[in-house]
Chains A and B, each alone.
Chain A
Amino acid sequence: MSKAKNYIVGIFDDHDKLLNGVEATKNEGYKISDVISPYPIHEVIESLNLKTRIPVLALLYGIFAVLVTFGFLYWTSVVDYPLRFGGKPQNTLSFVVVIFVMTINITSAFTIVTFFLREKKGPGAKAHVIDEGLGDDKYAIILDEEEEKTAQQEEYLKQIGAIRIVHDKQK
């Protein structure tokens, strides 16, 4: 278990103040740990320079699904129990339909599982709720607490428009 870390959280109540705040805080040199918002804000994602590799993984899952499904069809219809009917080939083009659908099936399922694993979320997972307005109409900028400069950080968050400051501890 990792040690609990201290954070200083500034709660905002305005979309624009948050956007300007994120940009300004970055320029000021404070380290933003994360931003919480009730809906996705693409400007924030961009300015924090966040990236995800889920699309690459999804592509790999898709390739895996095609291979596995084709392998299964080939093995059952050609190797394990070959049946010849109507003079048609055993390894047929109509496998495409099942491969197509199963690729979608396997890729979706794996992508969803990846999302939940990466996010460490699942049925009944505990949520660390810092402020109850954050799902409604409030926003939060979370800063890593710097021991010597705590007061300075608080002051700064207030200056860029935070309506209140919360101290938070997380593992």
Chain B
Amino acid sequence: MYKTKVRGVIIEGNKSYGQITRDILAPIDGKTPRWWFITMGIGTLMMLAGMVAIVNTIATGIGTWGLNNSVAWGWGIINFVWWIGIGHAGTAFSIFLLILRQKWRTSINRAAEAMTVFAVICAGLFPALHMGRIWLAFFIFPYPNTRGPLWVNFNSPLFWDVVAISTYFMASATFWYIGMLPDLATIRDKATNKVKKAIYGFFAFGWVGKATSWLRFETTVLILGGLAAPLVIAVHSIVSMDFATSVMAGWHTTVFPPYFVVGAIFSGFAMVLTLMIIIRKVYKYQDYVTDGHLDAIARILTFISLIMGTAYATEIFIAWYSAMEGEMYTFFHNRIAGDHTAAFWTMVTCNVFFPQLFWFKKIRSNIWAVFVISIIINIGMWFERYVIIITSLTKDYLPANWAPYAPSITEVGIFVGTLGIFVIGVLLFLRFVPMMAMSELKGVLKDTMPAKKKAGKTPDDPENKTL
């Protein structure tokens, strides 16, 4: 049922099984390095800033944000869509590659899934705060109430959002955790410290690694992956429908769902790349996150970037082709030229032009260039959401309603706070959880051993080339 042929070497350095365990557990067994505390300090400060901003928002109200009657969605929704986009590719990465039986996912999926979980937590904060009276947030759930019972509107994309994002959070968090059980059990077995043994033992859920367990484990993971794959697509399609089902110029288009899904995967892949380069550099995991891995992700990004370019061009073409004045104005006089030119061209440059540099092997193999471009992509994706939300809302159909928008310090504070939460989450993950799936790495080791370890094969066998 699960047999697949694997191409090439995925783990370099002729590792033995024991060596993999030692390598991956080294950061957990070792002392906490100094940079960890420093980064943790910075992250905590950022989170505290965010908490001040959140308390300010809840105590005073949404009036503390820079919103007005015309621009009712500002940084709150921009950052919500940005985070949920980042949260998407983590799981998209590990799940799509799982279903496509791409074994090179093994050294990256754990970190990608962790990133997903933290990003979705950050994303979920924004709509909750945006409701204004957060203490009445439970109104959005369909429960028998004393107001009729008046049920929620099951045909509203805003309600779909609630269902989809909470489902997505549950699914990606459990998928991540179940995948971790065998590795937590390994830590439990190897631990010499009693407290550590007890804690990891508690979280390992009694895993032993019997053949029957492995069969059920793999089946369950595959089912969860199969279910989560359409979910990933559904969640961002639904987010796009928050926009597309309205009649605002620049929002009311059918291209939105695929455009948003691809955009989400784009920013998520970029974030995975950023994170994996940091992990590789800091923990010296070149043998696991090989040049081949980075090369593969860079190639995928080039392709997705072309899709993004096509989506942008389609929007502009349809605005012109529909001959609808409002659409024409939004695209040609408010984005390409006009008040928001800078944001629009930042978006295009970062998302469409910069990733094209990956066509050159020299750039793909330069780790610093790859790192910088991966960050540029996420900046570009932030500007994409800015362009979509702010250009359409500041200048809608009635010029009398036109209003400028600038974020208040509170809005910026909440964004900084979510960055802090993300940093803290990633740091805790790096310190206390095996950041690569050891059991999966061991599972692919045998089939991907370099040529000289396999009998009867020569080193220059084309089957043994990296990836």
Contact = CB atoms under 8 A, between A and B. Distances in A.
Interface in B102-151: 142, 148-151
Interface string A154-165: 000000000000
Nearest to B151: A76
Contact of A42 (B2, B150, B230): B2
Contacts of B160: 97-98, 101
Interface in A113-146: 115-116, 118-130, 132-137
A169 B203 CA distance: 25
The winner among B211, B214, B217, B227 for most chain A CB atoms within 10 A is B211
Interface stretch (B13-21, B330-338, B340-348): B13-21
Contacts of B206: 120-122, 124-127
Interface string A52-69: 101100100000000000
Contact of A80 (B151, B188, B216): B151
Contacts of B21: 38, 135-137
A112 interface: yes
Contacts of A109: 170
A84 to B, nearest CB: 12
Given A42-B2, A105-B167, A126-B206, A37 B211 contact: yes
B174 A119 contact: no
A112 B209 contact: no
B328 to A, nearest CB: 28
A108 B177 CA distance: 13
B254 interface: no
A160 to B, nearest CB: 17
Contacts of B3: 42
The winner among A40, A105, A111, A124 for most chain B CB atoms within 10 A is A40
B252 interface: no
Interface in B299-352: none
Given A73-B154, A107-B227, A121-B205, A136 B216 contact: no
Interface in B174-221: 174, 178, 181-182, 185-186, 188-190, 201-220
Nearest to B22: A136
A51 B155 CA distance: 42
A100 B238 CA distance: 12
B223 interface: yes
A128 B155 contact: no
Given A39-B443, A77-B154, A135 B185 contact: yes
A40 B216 contact: no
B213 A119 contact: yes
Interface residues of A, number: 62
A20 interface: no
A73 B154 CA distance: 8
Given A80-B149, A124-B202, A40 B171 contact: no
Contact of B216 (A81, A118, A122, A134): A118
Nearest to B18: A137
Contacts of B234: 97, 100-101, 104
B439 interface: yes
B446 interface: yes
Given A38-B439, A38-B442, A115-B217, A50 B212 contact: yes
B163 interface: yes
B45 interface: no
A40 B17 contact: no
A35 B214 CA distance: 10
B186 A135 contact: yes
A24 interface: no
B10 interface: no
The winner among A73, A115, A122 for most chain B CB atoms within 10 A is A115
A101 B216 CA distance: 24
B228 interface: yes
Contacts of B28: none
Given A35-B211, A123-B202, A127-B204, A135 B151 contact: no
A62 to B, nearest CB: 8
B215 A45 contact: yes
A156 B178 CA distance: 37
Contacts of B238: 97, 101
Nearest to A92: B155
13 contacts: A37-B211, A40-B2, A41-B443, A52-B219, A58-B223, A76-B151, A101-B167, A102-B167, A112-B178, A119-B213, A124-B205, A130-B208, A137-B21
Nearest 3 CB-CB pairs, A to B? A125-B206, A135-B186, A137-B17
Given A104-B227, A124-B206, A137-B18, 6 more contacts: A42-B2, A42-B3, A45-B215, A97-B234, A127-B188, A137-B442
